[in-house]
Structure 1
């Protein structure tokens, strides 16, 4: 037998040679280089793209790279899709992406990319979907994007893009969806966009657009949704907007529009109309709107006249909001009399108008919420039947408490530790399977209340996915402004398998990521927030394509692979035997956490799995904030409790003892005006704190205008009082007392009723206790920590932290409430600025105009209190008890004090502040029954902040 002796060097050369031949027959070299260039500009902390640059993109399953399985006429495979949805990527988009000349889908949704959108993308003539929403991209929209004649969908919403909308976008001749909302785009909307004959959805809300509304938009033949909310236009709504041939939703909320409401009765399929928070005047058009109408919101305008009789013939109506106008006449009860209410509710809000009487029997069914407060008909007090509609009760917002599977199934039969669960609607009792978890959001639905449409939506979705109805479970949903987020679970077919196979998972994901759902005017555009693979799906790797390779090439691949393995193994063995390895593995994040079990009485210890499920695997779309400690996520627990999960970054992990100490401290703090700790997680190398969720965000958001709605003076006064009560509890009722040390507007959170709750005790310190001589020091000596602008000058200089340090910080928050200013802005200090204005008699010139009218004497006392809290000498600052007393005294001076006190009485326990200055008997749940304080004499000391 002939024996061949092949040296290692020859094998290596053979390996390289054959690899080159194979690569030359697979992915085009220019596209390989482009992908490598794209990766070089990305930061990938989760190592999702670790397999890039290994092997060939189209045959080695590079993450997110999808290719056509057919070799082109040039002899190469080509990249058709880049799918990098929600991979925690940062960095920027490389201009080299334009070298992917056959690309049809470019998807970077829900990452943290920065920089501008490369103009070179405009040269990818084949591009159909450009999906960049949910990043931090800035700069302007490139004119070159208008060259994409095949582009179907452009999504750049929820970024930081500025500048105008390019007129070149009129050349997007195939575009159906332009989603540019939630940016800072400015300037005039180009009338040329009316040339896009294919346009279905135009979303431009939450920008800084100005100028007039293009009347030419009514020429768009198939436009279904026009959403322009929260911009600053001039002039009127064009009369031509009544001529849209196919419009289903028109939303131009809070846009500074004037003039009259055009006649919209000729729009045959209109379902949703929101023109609220403008300056529209005149009567409401009397012509009958479309019978499909679900929502009519004309609130907060200058409308007069009466309610049109045509409103009584809208059989699908869910919400009629006419509050805060100048409407007169009678309240017609026939609005609801001719309707049937089957799993449907109606809200009729007529508050703050001039309705003087009711025509007919005022006895709406339970499904109808009627609000009449602030009308003359309520002040007459003629019947109890009317007075029950004159309060401020809230209607149902459509947020469900989705019921879990009601079947009683044995828990031990379903391996829940591996993400299995019982299928809620299974035709087979107690069928256990592992679902696909999907975050999904309707971006502009044409309804206000979801339950009547829940079943039709399930039918629509399962038909689109080619699944049985029982395979879909809507785990939860919630409104986010005009959008509705939902979390879906898709289960495999019963009696077939307890998991989906890879082909089926790939098929389902492909439908979502390719936007292959049929259009529906009722549900509007949607977006995929996440497609979470947990449990048995976590390790799935989808093949990008099937490549037809000749037998000869296949043999060459096998031979070259054997040669490469042999050569490389020989070299590694040789090198290893010649050197000693001195390697000490670095501590992983998991090593940082002790395996000692932590159990605290009354405090829930969550598992890492529970936190992953609650936050959809810490999906970026669920992130609601970020601080020095780490990121904060909105989570849904197994019982549908909504929570905020604060997850420590690796660099901020504490030792277990310190972490346990902090939890013990937080577990002792229970007050209406403190954010409650629900539980914690300390496993898998993770440290997490789980708090109650505050749906209205931070006080700083409201003062900065991020919410698009404003707080009036009464609301601000209540927030100030609530914050002070929370801090008073920390100082006087906690055992031992606590100094917060980081009071600021962004650490005051607001719940669904705008009740203030103090949060973030990460820098808090326990107050001093008895020393060896039996005395209590008045301060804690500590390294100065906190936020510039809120820091007590005395604490900054001496490092002595006292309760008066918190009083100073809260005084700065009071000044923010009064002025809307930030503590430090363009080198100016808010304490100094307010003090100078006050001494010059110009205080009212810097009061925040957004809080509307206010009693001047109340504002004067609030200003005096705020400045006294910010006095340089801590001994001259009021105690927190004095602050609370003075705020309650100011509140009692308000014209609507009775209504405010009545509402607050439902929040607090009704107990009074003690008349004594002693804090020992102080009850934290205090009411407004205290008499006025003489704390403020009208003379405010000069404050000289450093």
Structure 2
């Protein structure tokens, strides 16, 4: 019998040179279907075992993500997978015991999904496994002891789950393990002293569990250990073992809030120690006087019972960023030599938190550099704050810790709106070619245990680290924003730009695949200082939207992924059926005219209020889709202006090949859209689903998009009153989606170009192509607060929390609408020549210079109204979702601002529209401004002073 090689590429069946994909239907949990698929798999493996002509070679030479290979001519008939990477794909269900049959897998990656259930003990059978990555799910139960017998395991990440029970003693057999991340679970019991046998271990993260017992002194035998993080456990009546001073390669020791007692051991013999946190314990005695490592950045001994004086050894630490000794029993004087002996660069920072002790004086200079922040409240030295200029150190409000920031900047002055592409392109901030415009890859990235407290100091070093690891130039890396989280852990939003030297403004596909592969396979060179990292998301939008990571662009179907999680590993088929499909494939090749686009049926459904159009009607309406009738293009496809037989003017959205949905899914979306009726939503008139086409027919908006009216090229401008009306109309439309649509909807792509204006300049929200249904109550009636979803949308409008966590909420829409409000106020784009509109308006408002960034074409406005509008917009754009108003609050605030205007102010312009009968572009609009209350200009400070003049922008 001749052997036939059958490969499941992304779980799509490939026979010889033909490829057939199983139907991608909805996720199922039907036990009978799962059992049937398992039976098919078993029968196929049995048949393969009885085939002749065995070949002992390895049939799976491909290293692509998600490649399954069967080979009927060798390797004893088992599944061969090198890597199975299903990162951040909204997968639910549980891990199947059959995973243990993937006997050649090296990478098993299910990070950042919604997986429940237990970790199957059968995973312990995969002796080839090197990376087991399950963090960021909802997995419960205990850690299987069988994992401890994986001889090649290099990295085990199960953090941020709901695991309980003890750490198995068998983990001491993981001879090759370098990274053991079990943090943020509910693990209990004693840390096994046997872990000291892990001679290759570099990072041990057990923080945020319920571990108890004592701290094993044997851990000091792990000679290569660099990071030991055990915060927030309960080692009652345990002391810090003196043997820990022998951890000669330790970079970070963090034992915060561990119920530790006794004295602080002498740790001065650890030469590479950068970070020491022993805070929130019950430590007693004095602080050791021996000098710590010159490399130390952070010392936190706060919230203990330490006494004595501040030792002189803190005075010769050149890289110190934070010294926290607050809430102890320290006495004596504060030595100013701590900061006097340091050299500060412009990006350096030092915080000395000495609050709530018994310190009586400061010895030496009382004029520290601006980089130094000293906090002395709650000490006797503050009893007379007028003495020796002590006010600056004893005031109750002092600079807090760095929590969030933005680090991207433009070194070149580039013209506004000169980027020759769309919103997905930006100026490369540090480009050696001035004002070079390119489309970045956007990445959510987190440092899980960094060894510093203040990030800007190490920004260049961090960029060098990334550049070397990714084989990019330093200028190609931009850190757009960052935020410190509990841990402390550092979340950041990276942008990677293509090189400026090959005259290409985008990355090619192979380069994107290479970069993603370096992140997902942990191919970075090690950095103990920056610590272990996590890829939170790898966002591909704009020109990268259709980039796939499977072989030859094949994507793993959602159905197959669901079946894998619910207990079936493969959806194979018997060899005769495969041959039959091969014959069908060859037959299909003889009819090239029957493309996939022209094979779809003419299935349609009757929906009240929605008309079904024929394809030929669309051809006639658009003059055969003549380019002269095209009025726009988006992610869904091209938009045409069409005139129906009854002279109704419509907008026709024609899906492109890559945007086509399944017939059932398309009709389901039509049925959903048909239920949405609001004066501030663009109305769906009908649809066309013929000859492989999918088209949506909407009412035509003669005055185009809001973006058209705010563009510098627009010949006519919107008055302040008009802008308020547009803002309110948009907010009312989105409020309807959130609260009255059935089911509720999150828009997910609110932007100025998705707000259309009718003949009377009423705002109507459009384009639900990226919309997601809002969460529905679970079985217990509880309403989830968010949807976990792949990031989609438009740069500049995206909620930063959504970017970092992939958690989409109603407040994500609020953020995007807030950006639109800022556009209405300033006329700026969300991102222009390297500047972010939210940041720019915030800076102007805080400095009392709001008027300087307002759109000078807006006409006159009452300053109190403009101030309230600015404040509302900025609140909508707060980093944290909980700080933003709800959409109903936004509507109420806008209504109250409009009520503040007099009747003449409410309609600051009387507008005359041409009687064309079809459209009125911005250039055709004639506006006569009525301005009864003009007064002279006022300074920007008046905008926040309570004075309410009416001003004209300068």
TM-score, length-scaled by structure 2: 0.59
Instruction: Find 1:198's aligned residue among 200, 212, 219.
Output: 200
* Aligned with 2:522 (options 495, 515, 518): 515
Does the 8 Å contact 1:476/1:640 carry over to 2?
A: no
Per-residue CA deviations over 1:630-650 (Å, capped at 9, x if unaligned) read 549999983999678999999
Distance 1:41 1:418 in 2: 35
What is the deviation of 1:413?
Answer: 4.2
1:220 maps to which of 222, 226, 240: 222
Shift, 1:245, TM fit: 1.6
What corresponds to 2:499 in structure 1? Answer: 493
The change in CA–CA distance for 1:67 and 1:512 in structure 2 (over 3 A counts) is farther
What do the CA deviations read for 1:717-769 (whole angstroms, capped 9, x no partner)? xxxxxxxxxxxxxxxxxxxxxxxxxxxxxxxx9x99x9997965879999xxx
Q: For the structure 1 residues 580 and 636, does the alpha-carbon distance in structure 2 shift closer, same or farther, using more than 3 Å as the test?
A: closer
In structure 2, which of residues 474, 479, 486 is the aligned counterpart of residue 474 of structure 1? Answer: 479
Q: Structure 1 residue 416: deviation in Å? A: 5.0
Q: Does the CA-based 8 Å contact 1:355-1:376 persist in structure 2? A: yes
Q: Distance in 2 between matches of 1:631 and 1:644?
A: 10
How do 1:552-591 residues align onto structure 2 when only pairs under 5 Å count?
561-563=585-587, 585-588=667-670
The answer to whether the 8 A contact 1:59-1:545 is kept is no
3-state SS in 1 of match to 2:95:
coil
Which of 361, 365, 368 aligns to 2:369? It is 365
Per-residue deviation at 1:532? 1.1
Map of 2:767 onto structure 1? none
Q: Secondary structure at the match of 1:388?
A: helix
Q: Hey, what does 2:352 align to over in structure 1?
A: 348
Aligned to 2:540: 533
1:299 is matched with 302
Q: 1:592 to 1:536 in 2, by over 3 A?
A: farther
2:277 to 268, 274, 277: 274
Q: Hey, what does 2:381 align to over in structure 1?
A: 377
Report deviation, 1:186.
1.1
| 1:105 alignment partner in structure 2 | 107
1:253 to 251, 256, 266: 256
Higher relative contact order (CA 8 A, sep 6+): 2
Q: Is 1:391–2:395 an aligned residue pair?
A: yes
Residue number in structure 2 paired with 1:402: 407
Partner SS state of residue 186, structure 1: strand
| Corresponding residue of 2:340 | 337
Distance 1:595 1:765 in 2: 19
2:686 equivalent to 1:595? no
* Structure 1 gap ranges (5+): 1-16, 45-51, 548-553, 620-624, 654-658, 669-676, 680-689, 693-748, 767-907, 911-946
Equivalent in the alignment of 2:863: none
* 1:718 aligned partner: none
**Residue in structure 2 matched with residue 879 of structure 1 by the alignment:** none
Partner in structure 2 of residue 189 of structure 1 = 191
| 1:645–1:691 CA contact under 8 A, matched in 2 | no
Query: Hey, what does 1:827 align to over in structure 2?
Result: none
1:762-814 CA-partner distances (Å, limit 9, x unpaired): 79999xxxxxxxxxxxxxxxxxxxxxxxxxxxxxxxxxxxxxxxxxxxxxxxx
1:427 offset after TM fit, Å? Answer: 1.1
Give the aligned partner of residue 117 of structure 1. Answer: 119
Q: Choose from 480, 483, 490 the match for 2:489.
A: 483
- Tell me which residue corresponds to 1:419: 424
Structure 2: distance between partners of 1:86 and 1:401: 25
Q: Cα offset for 1:420?
A: 1.5
Give the superposition deviation at 1:111. 0.7
Q: 1:111 to 1:469 in 2, by over 3 A?
A: same
Matched residue, 2:240:
237
Q: CA shift at 1:30, angstroms?
A: 13
Aligned length: 648
Q: Distance in 1 between matches of 2:348 and 2:282?
A: 31
Which secondary structure does the structure 1 equivalent of 2:239 belong to? Answer: coil
Partner of 1:524 in structure 2?
A: 531
Task: Note the C-alpha offset of 1:91.
Answer: 1.0
Deviations 1:261-301 (A, max 9, x none): 11101111111000001111110011110111000000010
- Alpha carbons of 1:475 and 1:25: their partners in 2 closer, same or farther (altered >3 Å)? closer
Instruction: Return the offset for 1:21.
Output: 3.3
Contact 2:801–2:807 (CA<8 Å) still a contact in 1? no
How far did residue 242 of structure 1 move?
Answer: 1.4
Is 2:457 aligned against 1:442?
no
Given that residues 335 and 363 in structure 2 are in contact (C-alpha distance below 8 angstroms), is that contact kept between their aligned partners in structure 1?
yes
Structure 1 residues 102 and 628, CA, compared in 2 at 3 Å: closer, same or farther? closer
Distance 2:532 2:73 in 1: 35
Using the alignment, how far apart are the partners of 1:506 and 1:39 within structure 2? 27
Quote the residue 2:464 is aligned against: 459
Q: In the aligned structure 1, how far is the partner of 2:344 from the partner of 2:215?
A: 38
Cα-Cα RMSD: 5.5
Q: How does 1:689-838 map to 2 (within 5 A)?
A: none
CA contact (8 A) 2:536 2:804 kept: no
CA gap of 1:340–1:646, structure 2 versus 1, over 3 A, is closer
Question: 1:130 & 1:190 partners in 2: Cα distance?
Answer: 21
Q: Which of 17, 21, 44 matches 2:4?
A: 21
Counterpart of 1:835 in structure 2 is none
- How far apart, in 2, do the equivalents of 1:272 and 1:312 lie? 17
Cα offset for 1:26? 9.2
Indicate conservation of the 8 Å contact 2:405/2:483, yes or no: yes
Once the 2 structures are TM-superposed, how far is the Cα of residue 498 of structure 1 from its aligned partner?
A: 1.2
Deviation of 1:29 (Å)? 13
The DSSP-based 3-state class of the residue aligned with 2:84 is: strand
SS at match of 2:382: helix
Aligned counterparts, 1:301-340, within 5 A: 301-340=304-343
How far is 1:338 from its partner?
0.9
Decide whether aligned partners of structure 1 residues 755 and 118 sit closer, same or farther in structure 2, where only a CA change above 3 A counts.
Answer: closer
Q: Distance in 1 between matches of 2:73 and 2:431?
A: 46
The 1:691–1:206 alpha-carbon spacing in structure 2 relative to 1, beyond 3 Å, is farther
Please name the residue that 2:796 is paired with. Answer: 638
Partner secondary structure for residue 510 of structure 2:
helix
User: Taking structure 1 as reference, are residues 569 and 93 closer, same or farther at Cα in structure 2, changes over 3 Å only?
Assistant: farther
Alpha-carbon offset, residue 592 of structure 1: 5.6
| Maintained 8 Å contact 2:537/2:804 | no
Structure 2: distance between partners of 1:648 and 1:270: 35
State the match for 1:433 in structure 2.
438
Q: Structure 1 residue 387: deviation in Å?
A: 2.5
Distance 2:181 2:806 in 1: 34
Deviation at 1:62, TM superposition (A): 13
Q: From 139, 142, 158, give the equivalent of 2:160.
A: 158
Structure-2 residue corresponding to 1:172: 174
- The TM-score normalised by the length of structure 1 is 0.59
Q: Secondary structure in 2 aligned to 1:539?
A: coil
Distance 1:106 1:230 in 2: 29
Q: 1:468 to 1:70 in 2, by over 3 A?
A: farther
1:627-666 equivalences in 2 (<5 Å): 627=783, 630-631=786-787, 638=796
Cα distance, 1:112 vs structure 2: 0.7
Q: Take 1:146 and 1:611, find their aligned partners in 2: how far apart are those partners?
A: 51
When you count strand as a share of all residues, which structure comes out higher?
2
How far apart, in 1, do the equivalents of 2:600 and 2:469 lie? 57
Where 2:187 maps in the other structure, the secondary structure is strand
Q: Aligned-pair distance for 1:522?
A: 1.1
**Does 2:78 align with 1:74?**
no
Using the TM superposition, give the Cα deviation of residue 23 of structure 1 relative to its aligned residue in structure 2, in angstroms: 1.9
